[in-house]
């Protein structure tokens, strides 16, 4: 009987007609058994069941407290905003403006704020290569006229002192160029090419430190010396008219305003001389703390600009003893000064090696209009009388001249040829020629500002014939 029962049971199993049941309860059966237990023992049975589950199968945590709907059609609008994470996710998805900086750790905002100027060392410009001024120079500007790259004539100028703080060249209204070479002043007549010696200082340790033609008439020239005096010479008569004292050190800068002659000295003072009266000193300015190396009166005579080795630029209202404005933006000596013939009260100033900038000022307001880093020491500046252009001469490292378009300050052209720093610039009375004097002891004449018609009609000759580009004349 037992054998028959065993055979029947084996056949039922092998037929696979009925579902195969395991002796071990399934997981849902265990949960159903736990859920059907009494409420009094539910906590105890739940704890036991959890332990049993962990021992028998993987543990699945309860995520009912965090609901994150990933419905793309609703664009996260179904997020559970009751939870902190849900609120944050909703704010990010909607770009809420109320999101605080602490919740949006990585977010695109405006550009980083510009650093303050205080972090920049005043000597940093010494080692920089690119321009760091207010405005960087643009690409080369285009001009319609042809500007020759080579000088039209060259004069040898032996013993032209290599001193940044001196002003040794001036072109008068009578078309005569005055050049100081060591102890002597020479005059070169541009219309005839004649050269003559005007004067020489006598002491061995003395030398000429500045020259400046009177603006009107062209018959008188002021000469500053290392022996602290200012001499006034009548060129036509070839004699000294008077000698004016008052400084205690060399006089390196001179500037005329009608009958008023201003002189700047290494003793840090500026004196205004009325050359018509015996008591010639009518004003004394003592605002600079180092040698005064730049002086220039505005064309209308309303302002006097002064630059010094103390890196400051002062603008005086007439003959007032106190400056109207004191500008400290330059980071080196301020020697190069030039007033614009096109815009009233517009002044250009150039800084030395540690500055390298050309800055433009509104003299009436004392505000800086523009600034450009030229990349090298600025020695002299000269405005064009025909166009809104300004010419600058430079020292290390290129020793070049640069022509700029104002106010964009796009570089028009560079002029090279000097082998040492170009310390001086002077323009002919009609503006057709510019003379550059350098420490390489040469004077070079350039047709930079002249128009085409003026250049073709320029027939400057010497006593022996027309000067060619390669002709060299020695001033001594």
Sequential DSSP letters for 293-339 = EEEEE-TTSSEEEEEETTS-EEEEETT-SSEEEEE---SS-EEEEEE
Check whether residue 145 and residue 90 sit in a common domain.
no
Predicted pLDDT of residue 450: 72
Check whether residue 62 and residue 158 sit in a common domain.
no
Q: What is the mean pLDDT of residues 198-226?
A: 94
Chain segment 350-363, per-residue pLDDT in tens: 999 999 999 999 99
Which of 60, 79, 94 is at the close of a domain?
94
Across the chain, what does the average pLDDT equal? 80
Which of 61, 94, 127 is at the close of a domain?
94
Check whether residue 77 and residue 163 sit in a common domain.
no
Predicted pLDDT of residue 111: 59
Identify the domain containing residue 83 by its residue range. 26-94
Chain segment 387-435, per-residue pLDDT in tens: 999 999 999 989 999 999 999 999 999 999 999 999 999 999 999 899 9
* Residue 262 placed within a domain: yes
pLDDT band with cut points at 50, 70 and 90 for residue 112: low
Please check the confidence at residue 89 and state whether its pLDDT lies above 70: no
Predicted pLDDT of residue 271: 97
Check whether residue 411 and residue 470 sit in a common domain.
yes
Predicted pLDDT of residue 35: 65
* Residue 285 placed within a domain: yes
Check whether residue 70 and residue 185 sit in a common domain.
no
Sheet holding 303-308, edge to edge: 292-297, 303-308, 313-317, 323-327
Higher pLDDT, 51 or 429: 429
Please check the confidence at residue 168 and state whether its pLDDT lies above 80: yes
pLDDT band with cut points at 50, 70 and 90 for residue 70: very low
Q: Name the pTM for this structure.
A: 0.70
* Closest C-alpha among 255, 247, 242, 212 to residue 226: 247
Which of 78, 94, 110 is at the close of a domain?
94
Chain segment 8-24, per-residue pLDDT in tens: 666 666 655 555 565 66
* Closest C-alpha among 226, 130, 140, 209 to residue 168: 209
* Residue 261 placed within a domain: yes
* Residue 20 placed within a domain: no
Please check the confidence at residue 135 and state whether its pLDDT lies above 60: no
Indicate which CATH number applies to the domain containing 410.
2.130.10.10
Check whether residue 358 and residue 419 sit in a common domain.
yes
Higher pLDDT, 470 or 162: 162
* Residue 2 placed within a domain: no
* Residue 155 placed within a domain: yes
Check whether residue 145 and residue 45 sit in a common domain.
no
* Residue 134 placed within a domain: no
Check whether residue 193 and residue 44 sit in a common domain.
no
* Residue 131 placed within a domain: no
Sign of CA dihedral 102, 103, 104, 105: positive
Between CA 322 and CA 344 the distance in angstroms is 22
Predicted pLDDT of residue 330: 98
Check whether residue 155 and residue 273 sit in a common domain.
yes
Higher pLDDT, 44 or 271: 271
Predicted pLDDT of residue 15: 59
* Closest C-alpha among 330, 348, 328, 353 to residue 338: 348
**Start-to-end C-alpha separation, the chain:** 151
Check whether residue 321 and residue 198 sit in a common domain.
yes
Phi, psi at 347, each rounded to 5°:
-120, 135
Percent helix, strand, coil in the chain, to 5, is 15, 35, 55
Predicted pLDDT of residue 13: 63
Q: What is the DSSP letter of 17?
A: -
Number of domains in the chain: 2
Q: What is the DSSP letter of 187?
A: E
């Amino acid at each position: 009987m037992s054998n028959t029962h065993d055979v029947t049971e084996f056949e039922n199993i092998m037929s696979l007609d009925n579902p195969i049941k395991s002796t071990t309860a399934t997981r849902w059966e265990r949960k159903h058994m736990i859920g059907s237990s009494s409420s009094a023992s539910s906590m105890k049975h739940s704890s036991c069941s959890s332990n049993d589950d962990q021992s028998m199968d993987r543990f699945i945590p309860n995520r009912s407290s965090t609901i994150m709907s990933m419905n793309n059609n609703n664009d996260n609008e179904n997020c559970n905003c009751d939870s902190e994470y849900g609120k944050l996710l909703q704010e990010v998805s909607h770009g809420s403006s109320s999101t605080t900086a602490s919740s949006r750790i990585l977010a695109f905002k405006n550009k980083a704020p510009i650093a303050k100027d205080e972090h920049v060392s005043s000597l940093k410009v010494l080692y920089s290569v690119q321009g760091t001024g207010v405005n960087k120079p643009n690409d080369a500007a285009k001009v319609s006229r042809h500007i020759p790259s080579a000088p039209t004539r060259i004069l040898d100028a032996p013993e032209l002192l290599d001193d940044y703080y001196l002003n040794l060249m001036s072109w008068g209204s009578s078309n005569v160029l005055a050049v100081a070479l060591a102890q002597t002043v020479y005059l070169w007549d541009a219309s005839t090419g004649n050269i003559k010696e005007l004067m020489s200082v006598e002491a061995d340790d003395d030398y000429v430190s500045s020259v400046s033609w009177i603006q009107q008439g062209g018959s008188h020239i002021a000469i500053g010396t290392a022996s602290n005096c200012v001499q006034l010479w009548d060129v036509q008569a070839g004699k000294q008219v008077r000698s004016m004292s008052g400084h205690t050190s060399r006089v390196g800068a001179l500037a005329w305003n009608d009958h008023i002659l201003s002189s700047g000295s290494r003793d840090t003072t500026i004196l205004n001389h009325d050359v018509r009266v015996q008591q010639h000193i009518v004003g004394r300015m003592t605002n600079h703390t180092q040698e005064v190396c730049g002086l220039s009166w505005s064309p209308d005579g309303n302002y006097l600009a002064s630059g010094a080795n103390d890196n400051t630029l002062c603008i005086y209202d007439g003959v007032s003893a106190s400056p109207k404005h004191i500008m400290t933006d330059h980071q080196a000596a301020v020697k190069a000064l030039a007033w614009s013939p096109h815009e009233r009260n517009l002044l250009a100033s150039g800084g030395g090696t540690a500055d390298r900038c050309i800055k433009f000022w509104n003299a009436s307001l004392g505000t800086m209009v523009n600034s450009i880093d030229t990349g090298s020491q600025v020695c002299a500046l000269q405005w064009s009388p025909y166009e809104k252009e300004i010419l600058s001469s430079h020292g290390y490292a290129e020793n070049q001249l640069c022509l700029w378009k104002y106010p964009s300050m796009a570089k028009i052209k560079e002029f090279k040829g000097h082998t040492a720093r170009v310390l001086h610039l002077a323009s002919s009375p009609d503006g057709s020629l510019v003379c550059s004097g350098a420490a390489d002891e040469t004077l070079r004449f350039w047709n930079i500002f002249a128009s085409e018609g003026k250049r073709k009609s320029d027939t400057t000759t010497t006593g022996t014939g027309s000067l060619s580009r390669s002709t060299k004349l020695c001033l001594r």
